[in-house]
Amino acid sequence: MNYKFLKVKGKKMQLPAFFPDATYGNVIGVNSKELYKIKAQGVVVNIYHLLRKNLINKIGKIGIHAYINFFKPIISDSGGFQVMSLIHDNPKLGKIEENKIIFNLDSKKIILTPEKSIQLQFRIKSDIIMCLDDCTRADAGLNAQKKSVERTIRWAGRCKKEFVKLTKNMEEKPLLFAIIQGGENKKLRKYCAEELLKIGFDGYAFGGFPVKNGKLLKGILEYTSKLIPNGFLKYAMGVGKPQDILECYKLGYNMFDCVIPTRDARHKRLYAFTNNKLGFKTIYIRGRHSNDKNPISKFCDCPTCKNHSLKDVYWAFRENREKANNLATIHNLRFYSMLMEKLRGK
C-alpha cells in the first residue's frame, strides 16, 4: 500500500476506499447528507445507465457533483461492464464492432465508442474516468477472452489519446484508469496488464466478474494485482462482500465498489461488527427482532445504531418500507466505511 490518501481535482479521499454504487446518480436508500454522515469517500456512477435515462445533458450543465449534491471524488464507469451483462449474455441486446458498441434499447439505440465514452465522462465532470473495455465472463472460452483482451488494449489506447486531448489545457485533471481483462487466463491477464502499463494510466482495475459460483476468484485477483507495480491505484471492481474486500485488500487492492451493501440493506440483510476490530456477523431482520431493544451493532456509530434498535428496524420493514430501506442502507454503508477506516488503522 503506497497511497494513504488521494487528491483529485481538489477533492480528497482516504484509501483504501469503498465507493457506494450510484448507478443513476443517486445511491438508493440514502440522500447526499447521509452519504457524508456515513463518511463515504466517493461514489460510482455508470455512463451507460445515465445515457439510458437521458441524464447526460442535464447533469452536464452543472456537473455530477452539484447534480447529486455530493462533493467527494466520483468514479464514472464506462459502460464496458454492460457489454458483458447485456450483449455477451444476450446478443439481441446489441453488438460489438471494432469501432463501437451498439446497445439496442426498446425505443432507441445507444452507441458508445472509446472516444465517446471518455467525452461523456468529461461532460459530467467525473473525477475518476474509466476506459471503455470489452468485459467478458471469467468462464468465457479462450478465443472470446483473447478477442476481449486485444480489443480492451486497442480501446484503452484510443481512450488515453482522447483523454490527453481533452486535458491539454486543464490544470486539475481527472484520473484515467484502465481495466485489465483476461478472465481466469494468467497469460492473457499478464499480456493485458503489460500492454496497458506501456500506454500508461493513473490506476488499474481488475475487470470481469470477480466472483464465480459465489466464490471470489482469489487466485487470478492475486496474480493480476502483482502485475501492477506498487504505487498505482488498484481497483477491484465489483468487490464485494465484506470478507472478499478484506481478502482483496490483502492482495494489494485499495479501491472497491459494489451494490451489495445497498442491495442487501433493502433485503433486510445487515452487516454488524461484533468487536472493535474486524469481527463481524450478518443479521437477517426477522420475527425474533420484533422486541429486540439492542442496536444492530453496539460497535457501529451510524445514525441508525445511535438512534434506533433492532426492534425499530424490524417494525419499519413491516410498516414503512422507505424508512426501513433508509435505516438499513445507512447502517450497511457505514459498516463498509468503518471497515475501510479499520483497514486504514484509524
- What dihedral angle (degrees, nearest 10) is formed by the CA atoms of 30, 26, 266, 321? 60
User: 262-301: which residues touch Zn ion (CB under 5 A)?
Assistant: 300
Which amino acid makes up residue 10? G
Give me the phi and psi of 47, to 5 degrees please: -60, -40
**Rg of the Cα atoms in the chain:** 20
Q: Note if 264 is an active site residue.
A: no
Nearer to Zn ion, 76 or 326 (CB): 326
Q: What is the pairing mode between strands 74-77 and 128-130?
A: parallel
Near Zn ion by CB under 5 A: residue from 305, 310, 328, 340:
305
Which amino acid makes up residue 221? L
Task: Identify the active-site residue in 127, 133, 244, 257.
Answer: 257
CB of 31 to Zn ion, least distance (A): 17
CA of residue 67 relative to chain centroid, distance: 19
Phi/psi region, residue 148 (left: phi>0; alpha: psi -120 to 50; beta: rest), is alpha
Find out whether 287 and 240 touch, Cβ atoms under 8 Å: no
Nearer to Zn ion, 19 or 280 (CB): 280
Number of H helices and E strands in the chain, helices first, is: 14, 17
CB of 333 to Zn ion, least distance (A): 9
CB of 37 to Zn ion, least distance (A): 11
d(CA 75, CA 177): 10
Nearer to Zn ion, 118 or 305 (CB): 305
Q: Note if 77 is an active site residue.
A: yes
CB of 73 to Zn ion, least distance (A): 24
d(CA 195, CA 197): 5
Count interface residues toward Zn ion (CB under 5 A): 5
Task: Identify the active-site residue in 21, 77, 133, 264.
Answer: 77
Nearer to Zn ion, 289 or 331 (CB): 331
Nearer to Zn ion, 116 or 331 (CB): 331
CB of 332 to Zn ion, least distance (A): 8
Query: Does position 331 bind Zn ion by CB under 5 A?
Result: yes
d(CA 327, CA 322): 9
Near Zn ion by CB under 5 A: residue from 302, 328, 338, 339:
302
| Sole window of 207-215, 253-261, 316-324, 330-338 interacting with Zn ion (rule: CB under 5 A) | 330-338
Q: Which residues are catalytic?
A: 77, 257
Residues that bind Zn ion (CB under 5 A): 300, 302, 304-305, 331
